Copies of this chain bind each other. A is one copy, B any other.
């Protein structure tokens, strides 16, 4: 609020223009190539742009999601924006869907069977519904017998959550509190507590 930011230079302007026309997140590597500069310079400009928006009380926000940068309308404007596009993405997900999504997010790639084993119930319907919604996708096949399909999260999943990468999910460890009993403290060590997805989504 104090002291006006200097006018954006040519590079910043080009950056903003490209982000405006892009229909998906653009990585800083791609932006650097486009602007014939290095990633460091791009990232500094991106930070400056985000700050400018905030300072000016802009209707736009710049976010780092799903491995790239993308402009979004400001969340405080969402009621008006939704009225304008006559659709809302506020989808109510069932508890089963959230549970399934959580398991896939942390354990990916997983088979239907693994999801069902953790949830204790058949989860095929929920899985396909989440695939239909573009939140999960088939990412390959397991090598095991029957070569079952493997599921993982989509870039859209990350985008909808506002996460830059799957590693930004909250750690499971603090959530692995014991339910009522306290006689099995050694068991929790056997449970993988970090997302097992270093190999990417």
Q: Which residues from chain A sit less than 8 Å from chain B, CB to CB?
A: 1, 3-5, 7-10, 12-24, 26, 30, 33-35, 52, 55-60, 71, 73-74, 76-78, 80-81, 83-87, 94-95, 120-122, 124, 132, 134, 146, 182
Contacts and interface: CB of A to CB of B under 8 A. Distances in A.
Given A7-B57, A13-B57, A18 B81 contact: yes
How many copies altogether?
2
A180 to B, nearest CB: 13
Contacts of A10: 76
A157 B74 CA distance: 31
A28 to B, nearest CB: 14
Given A23-B94, A85-B122, A8 B56 contact: yes
Contact of A57 (B9, B71, B74, B121): B9
Contacts of A1: 4, 7
Q: Which 10 pairs across A and B sit closest by C-beta, in order of nearness?
A: A16-B59, A7-B57, A17-B77, A17-B73, A17-B59, A4-B4, A87-B122, A14-B80, A13-B59, A8-B57
A21 B73 contact: yes
A77 B122 contact: no
Nearest to A87: B122
A99 to B, nearest CB: 11
A18 B77 contact: yes
A52 B24 CA distance: 26
B20 A55 contact: no
Given A17-B60, A24-B94, 20 more contacts: A1-B4, A4-B4, A7-B55, A8-B56, A8-B58, A9-B57, A12-B57, A13-B58, A14-B76, A14-B77, A14-B81, A17-B77, A18-B59, A22-B84, A33-B87, A34-B83, A34-B84, A35-B80, A56-B56, A85-B124
Given A14-B77, A59-B16, A30 B87 contact: yes
A19 B33 CA distance: 29
